[in-house]
C-alpha cells in the first residue's frame, strides 16, 4: 500500500482537513511527492487480530524516484481514539493519543551519507509487542477515583470505522484505531519553514483485541466509589420487579379484586456470568442468568401460574465525550441528564439472544409456608404497580382478608449464547473519551394455570378438591399473560492467550512489559557514586546507643 504523504491516522493516507494530527510540530505538506513508502507486516491478512503479548513484525520498504536527502526515520505503533458530536453550534470533534511506541533505529542502519538514492530499495525491519497497559501519561486528567484511572490505562480494542467484517454496534461518532506508521524527516535547519519536514509517510492499520480481565465494574453487585453514580445506575437497572396476575384481559377501570389471583415477584440475586471472547473475537463462551420467581396467591386455593415464555436480548451502550470522562459511565447517569449533551453522548443498540416458549410440564414451583401474614393488596417494589392503581382504593380491606401465609418459588437458569457469527462483540472497556458497556434484558411471561394443570397440582400437593371451583373460574375466563422484564449489567472480556503477558514469545524475545520491568530493575541496581559524608556525621564511628569505654 502506497500512502499519500498528507494523510492522517484515520484517512489512511488520503488528503483530509481533519484536525486529528500526531505531529503538530512537523510539516504535513510533502516536500518530495516522488518518494514511495509502504509498511509490510509479516504473516498479515485482512482478518488478522492481534492481542496482548502478540508481536507485530514487518518492514518498511522505501523506493525513491530521485535523490532525497533526509535526517531521520521514524517507525511507531500508534493508537488513538476519536469522537464527534453534532452540537447546536455545529459538529465538534475530539481526539486522544492512547499509545505511541517508537521502534529504536540504530545509527548504523542509516546510509552514509543520509541520502536516499534514485531507484535504490531500502528496507527497515521493525517489531512491536502489544502491551497489556498504557503508560500513566496516557491518562493525565482528573479522575474521581483510582478505579477510573485503572480502567483508563487499560488498552481499548479497535472500534468503529468499519474495521471489523461484522457490525461491532458502534456509531460513526466514536472510534478507536491502531496503525503502524513510518516517516522520513528533514531537520528544521534544512527546512525553509523552520521545523522538521515530513519527506514521506506510510501507514498500515492493525486490529487489536486486548486480552485479560479489566478491573471489576459490576457496580450493582460490588462497592462503588460514587454513591450518587451508583443510585442512578440502580435507577436504570431493574434487578427486582413485581406484577399482578389476573384471570383475564380486562380493562384497568373494569378490574376488580376478584379478578386478581396473586402477585408475581422476579429477582436477580447475582450478576450474569461474564462472556469470554476468543483472542480473535470469532467465538464467545456461553453465559447464563438466574432469575428467582415467587408467587403470592390471594387465596389458598389459587395454584401457581404457568411460565409461558422467556426472552432475552443484549444491549450495547457506547459512551463518547469531547472531554475526559472522569467517572465510569452507565445508562443511569448518561440518560438521566447527568452529563452535558453538548460535550457527551451515548448510543444504544440491541441484539436478540433468546426467545423460547415453555410447556406446562416445565413448571416446577415449590410451595413455601410462611408464619407471617402478608398484605397482598397490590404488588410493589417500592411503589404500587400500574396494574393495580385502578382497584387499589376501596380494596385494602378485602386484600387483608384474603391474605394467606403460603407462596410458591422457583428458579430459572437461562442459558444464553452471543451470536458471534452475526455481530462483533467488543470487550467491555472504559477509556478517557470512549467507553463500551453491556446490559442484559430478560423478560419472563406467566399466565394463570388452566383447570387441568391446577387440578394436577392440587392432587400432587395433597390439598384435596378445595380449589376446583377457583380452577374452573380461572379457566373459564380469558387467560391473560403477565410479562416481567429485568435489566442487569453483564461483562464481556477477551480470554488470555496461551502465553502469559511478559513471557518470551516464540522468537525468544521478551515482551514490552517484561523489558520495562527489567529496565527499572537495572536502574535500581546500577552503581552509585559514593561521597564523603557531612562533617557533622564524622564525629564518631560508634553505633548509636553504644558508648566507648
Is 102 a domain residue?
Answer: yes
**CA pair distance 298, 262, nearest whole angstrom:** 5
Which of 490, 521, 538 is at the close of a domain?
490
Domain match, 200 and 258 both: no
Q: Which three cell numbers stand for residue 353?
A: 439472544
CATH of the domain at 179: 2.60.40.640
Domain match, 55 and 183 both: yes
Residues 6+ apart with CB under 8 A from 439: 236, 237, 314, 315, 317, 331, 487, 488, 489, 490
**CA pair distance 78, 95, nearest whole angstrom:** 13
What phi, psi does 317 have (nearest 5°)?
-110, 120
Domain match, 391 and 473 both: yes
Q: What is the pLDDT along the chain (549 residues), one digit of tens a residue?
A: 323 223 344 433 333 333 333 333 444 454 445 688 999 999 998 889 999 999 999 999 999 988 989 999 999 999 999 999 987 778 899 999 999 999 999 888 888 899 999 889 999 999 999 998 998 888 988 888 888 999 999 999 999 988 999 999 999 999 999 999 999 998 866 555 667 888 899 999 999 999 976 666 555 444 344 444 444 445 678 999 999 988 765 544 445 555 788 999 999 988 888 999 999 999 999 999 999 999 999 888 889 999 999 999 999 999 999 999 988 888 776 755 445 555 888 899 999 999 988 766 566 899 988 655 454 445 654 444 444 433 333 334 444 444 457 899 999 999 999 999 999 999 999 999 999 999 999 999 999 986 434 433 433 444 444 444 444 333 334 457 899 999 999 999 998 765 444 444 444 455 556 666 666 655 555 544 445 555 554 455 444 444 444
Residues 6+ apart with CB under 8 A from 385: 242, 243, 244, 378, 379
Please, what sign has the CA dihedral across residues 142, 148, 149, 151? negative
Looking up cell 503477558 gives 501
Is 518 a domain residue?
Answer: no
Domain match, 270 and 133 both: no
DSSP assignment string, 470-505: HHHHHHHSPP--EEEEEEEEE-EEEPPPSSPTTS--
Domain match, 232 and 362 both: yes
Is 496 a domain residue?
Answer: no
Please compute Rg for the chain using Cα positions.
33
Domain match, 317 and 275 both: yes
**CA pair distance 330, 427, nearest whole angstrom:** 15
**CA pair distance 450, 226, nearest whole angstrom:** 49
Strands (E), 330-467: 344-357, 366-369, 406-416, 429-430, 434-447
Residues 6+ apart with CB under 8 A from 48: 41, 206, 207
Range of the domain at 58: 36-206
Is 340 a domain residue?
Answer: yes
Domain match, 409 and 285 both: yes
Q: Which three cell numbers stand for residue 467?
A: 380449589
Is 298 a domain residue?
Answer: yes
Which of 490, 510, 535 is at the close of a domain?
490
Pairing of strands 406-416, 366-369: antiparallel
Is 299 a domain residue?
Answer: yes
Domain match, 400 and 262 both: yes
Domain match, 202 and 289 both: no
Total domains in the fold of the chain: 2
SS3 annotation, 25-66: CCECCCCCCCCEEEEEECCCCCCCCECCCCEEEEEEEEEECC
Domain match, 235 and 376 both: yes
Domain match, 131 and 255 both: no
Is 549 a domain residue?
Answer: no
**CA pair distance 216, 203, nearest whole angstrom:** 35
Is 542 a domain residue?
Answer: no
Domain match, 166 and 236 both: no
What phi, psi does 88 have (nearest 5°)?
-65, -35
Amino acid at each position: 500500500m502506497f500512502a499519500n504523504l498528507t494523510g492522517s491516522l484515520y484517512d489512511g493516507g488520503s488528503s483530509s482537513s481533519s484536525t486529528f494530527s500526531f505531529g503538530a510540530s512537523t510539516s504535513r505538506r510533502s516536500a518530495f511527492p516522488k518518494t514511495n513508502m509502504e509498511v509490510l507486516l509479516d504473516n498479515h491478512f485482512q482478518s488478522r487480530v492481534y492481542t496482548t503479548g502478540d508481536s507485530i513484525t514487518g518492514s518498511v520498504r522505501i523506493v525513491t524516484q530521485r535523490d532525497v536527502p533526509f535526517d531521520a526515520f521514524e517507525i511507531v505503533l500508534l493508537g488513538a481514539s476519536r469522537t464527534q458530536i453534532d452540537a447546536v453550534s455545529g459538529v465538534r470533534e475530539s481526539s486522544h493519543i492512547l499509545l505511541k511506541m517508537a521502534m529504536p533505529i540504530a545509527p548504523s542502519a542509516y546510509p552514509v551519507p543520509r541520502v536516499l538514492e534514485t531507484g535504490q530499495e531500502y528496507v527497515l525491519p521493525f517489531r512491536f509487542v502489544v502491551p497489556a497497559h498504557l503508560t500513566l501519561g496516557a491518562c493525565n486528567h482528573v479522575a474521581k477515583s483510582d478505579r477510573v484511572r485503572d480502567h483508563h490505562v487499560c488498552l481499548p480494542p479497535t472500534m468503529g470505522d468499519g474495521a471489523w467484517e461484522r457490525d461491532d454496534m458502534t456509531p460513526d461518532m466514536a472510534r478507536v484505531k491502531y496503525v503502524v506508521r513510518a516517516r522520513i524527516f528533514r531537520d528544521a535547519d534544512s527546512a525553509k519553514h523552520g521545523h522538521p519536514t515530513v519527506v514521506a509517510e506510510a501507514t498500515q492499520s492493525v486490529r487489536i483485541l486486548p486480552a485479560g480481565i479489566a478491573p471489576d465494574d459490576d457496580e450493582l453487585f460490588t462497592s462503588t466509589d460514587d454513591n450518587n453514580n451508583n443510585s442512578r445506575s440502580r435507577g436504570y437497572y431493574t434487578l427486582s420487579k413485581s406484577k399482578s396476575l389476573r384471570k383475564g384481559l380486562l380493562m384497568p377501570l373494569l378490574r376488580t379484586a376478584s379478578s386478581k389471583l396473586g402477585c408475581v415477584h422476579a429477582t436477580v440475586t447475582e450478576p450474569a456470568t461474564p462472556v469470554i471472547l476468543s483472542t480473535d473475537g470469532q467465538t464467545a463462551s456461553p453465559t447464563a442468568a438466574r432469575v428467582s420467581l415467587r408467587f403470592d396467591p390471594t387465596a389458598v386455593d389459587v395454584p401457581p401460574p404457568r411460565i409461558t415464555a422467556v426472552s432475552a436480548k443484549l444491549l450495547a451502550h457506547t459512551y463518547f465525550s469531547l472531554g475526559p470522562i472522569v467517572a465510569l459511565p452507565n445508562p443511569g447517569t448518561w440518560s438521566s441528564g447527568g452529563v452535558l449533551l453538548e460535550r457527551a453522548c451515548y448510543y444504544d443498540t440491541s441484539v436478540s439472544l433468546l426467545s423460547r416458549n415453555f410447556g406446562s410440564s416445565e413448571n416446577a414451583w415449590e410451595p413455601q409456608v410462611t408464619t407471617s401474614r402478608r398484605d397482598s393488596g397490590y404488588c410493589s417494589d417500592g411503589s404500587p404497580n400500574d396494574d393495580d392503581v385502578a382497584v387499589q382504593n376501596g380494596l385494602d380491606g378485602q386484600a387483608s382478608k384474603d391474605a394467606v401465609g403460603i407462596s410458591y418459588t422457583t428458579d430459572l437458569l437461562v442459558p444464553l449464547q452471543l451470536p458471534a457469527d452475526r455481530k462483533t462483540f467488543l470487550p467491555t472497556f472504559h477509556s478517557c473519551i470512549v467507553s463500551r458497556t453491556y446490559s442484559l434484558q430478560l423478560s419472563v411471561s406467566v399466565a394463570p394455570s388452566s383447570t387441568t394443570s391446577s387440578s394436577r397440582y392440587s392432587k400432587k400437593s395433597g390439598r384435596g378438591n378445595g380449589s376446583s371451583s377457583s380452577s374452573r373460574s380461572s379457566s373459564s375466563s380469558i387467560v391473560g399473560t403477565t410479562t416481567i422484564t429485568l435489566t442487569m449489567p453483564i461483562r464481556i472480556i477477551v480470554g488470555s492467550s496461551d502465553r502469559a503477558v511478559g513471557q518470551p514469545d516464540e522468537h525468544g524475545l521478551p515482551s514490552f512489559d517484561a523489558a520495562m520491568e527489567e529496565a527499572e530493575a537495572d536502574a535500581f541496581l546500577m552503581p552509585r557514586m559514593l561521597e564523603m559524608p557531612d562533617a557533622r556525621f564524622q564525629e564518631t564511628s560508634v553505633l548509636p546507643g553504644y558508648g566507648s569505654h
